[in-house]
Amino acid sequence: MAVSKPVAVGPIEAPEGKKLSGAQILCECLLKEGVEVIFGIPGGATLPLYHALYEYPIRHILVRHEQGAAHAADGYARATGRPGVCFATSGPGATNLTSGIANACLDSSPVVAITGQVATPLIGKDAFQEVDITGITQPITKHNYLVTRVEDLAPVVKEAFYLATTGRPGPVLIDIPRDVQTAKTNFGYPKGIRLPGYKPTLLGHQRQIRQAAALIGEAERPVILAGHGVIISGAFADLRELAEKGDIPVITTLLGISSFPESHRLSFGIPHTICSVYANTAVNESDLLIAIGMRFDDRATGKTSHFAPKARVIHIDIDPAEIGKNVRVDVPIVGDVKNVLMSLNKEIALAKHTEWVEQINRWREQFPLTIDTETDVLLPQYVVQQIYGVTEGKATIVTDVGQNQMWAAQYYCYDRPTVSSPLGGLGTMGFSLPAAMGAKVGRPDELIWAIAGDGGFQMNIQELATVVQDKIPVKVAILNNGYLGMIRQWQQLFFERRYLGSPLSGPDFARVAEAYGAAGFRVTTKEEVRPTLIKAMEYDGPAIVDFWVAREENVYPMIPPGAAAIEMIHGPQK
């Protein structure tokens, strides 16, 4: 079977100073930035780019929908720490990217999206497939550009990659009209960046760091709340040093999973509208909350006015706009998490909080995460536990949104750094398969499992064709309950069990997988789970396992809408 890019030529001669087309200049710039792969779909407004790309040693992966391209670039960026790149043509191609761009924006993922545009004389005249994509993406990108002169293209690309990857990472979009792609100019790639209005603060203020150290020294019931910023800055060892030196319990946000080993004695789960009782209780009873690289979103806090009511708050984040936005803060520290923690660790003294740690352990024993091990019914929690067991915790887990995401967070133990790619702010259904594809391309030696519901999986099911054509051996577990599961759970608990719009029919996913050329399995009993997982992993290619799980199994505990974290529902109502 043919691959998406039929020819990859060797390194080309460096053409600095030579006259090149805009399309060639873009390709040269991408090489300068170390880009090795692009996820995209060609169109009329990007054909000059594809004509030039044919001659460059950059892999192009033809996705089946532009949303898949953006999610794949996002997954690649999360897995590698390097910017992910996606291409789309003008008009609908560009607008199809927007859910993926918004997803990357809310989760601080460095994605560079490059779109074709109609020729500059046609802009503003409602030309065929013309859309104002820079206007549309202004609120969901860190920055965007409409390049109207070929002479500006190289500096714009240089800036775009710099902006996407520095400070708080995020997506940047470059819109390139067709005539700019074909126009020629002398190529030269800028050696530096001059952006007077953009100076991310990397080092925390030393006086505030000393104030934070003093609060930590005074605290009797401190809690660390670790977020995505720990992973982005690579501050795993620094976080561990802070926790162990101060004997401070660590709770992670959903995006902060895998920032701290979950088998560690100081690890206590996730505070979330749907996660663990003991984590939410610990935050509620703490007298000092050390929030690191997180933004206090509503799913982490519940009702913010009742969040951590007894605690003083230290907030460390590289984005000053996040400080004090959702939760009052006593000591704000703006800076790169790793830099700040390195300084903070020098200021704090060895401490012990034995009674406090034991108290949280007692809450964990009192309110454990449990499943019915005696039942013969195939429960989704059991499936996730078995994935952990079969992979020995050595897989990277990419989740969709909904119940599947919560079970994956609760029942898989994340002990290694950056082995979790959950969704955060946007909660985009259909994320898991294309994001897993991008993660596998970026880390080909890593075992990648996507965990999705049957609703979310159908939203980007077409990317099965991509992983087959490009030989990307991702593994997918579908927790198939015949519902939009989280919607049904809300309807059951808060809307008088009126299941309108949530019952969901679907195809035979195993046969669909086979039709695309992947391996497909269906599992309906507990006994089949482990051997089928092993078969899927042993298959040399993409494999999909369709687990028919209990239809009305719920995720607990759960905080009712608008309630405080401590008002959570612990389990099924008797």
pLDDT mean for each 10 residues of the chain (574 residues): 36 68 97 97 97 97 98 96 97 97 96 98 94 97 97 96 97 98 96 90 95 97 96 96 97 93 92 76 94 89 84 96 92 97 96 96 87 89 96 94 93 83 81 97 96 96 98 98 96 94 95 98 97 97 98 88 75 70
Tokens matching residue 156: 């714009």
What's the one-letter identity of residue 212? Answer: A
Q: Report d(CA 54, CA 60) in Å as an integer.
A: 9
- Paired with 208 in beta bridges are none
Q: pLDDT at position 417, please? A: 82
- Paired with 116 in beta bridges are 176
First vs last C-alpha separation in the chain: 56
pTM of the model: 0.93
| 154 contact partners, CB below 8 Å, separation of at least 6 | 25, 28, 29, 187, 188, 189, 190
The number of CA neighbours under 13 Å toward the Cβ of 403 is 28
Nearest to 440 by CA among 31, 98, 168, 61: 61
Nearest to 278 by CA among 340, 352, 358, 215: 358
Q: At what angle do helices 22-32 and 153-165 cross, to 10 degrees?
A: 30
Q: Report d(CA 22, CA 114) in Å as an integer.
A: 13
Q: pLDDT at position 97, please? A: 98
Tokens matching residue 429: 């259904």
Q: pLDDT at position 75, please? A: 96
Pairing of strands 84-88, 288-292: unpaired
List alpha helices for 189-258, DSSP H. 206-218, 228-233, 236-246
List alpha helices for 443-570, DSSP H. 454-459, 463-469, 485-494, 509-516, 526-538
Q: pLDDT at position 544, please? A: 98
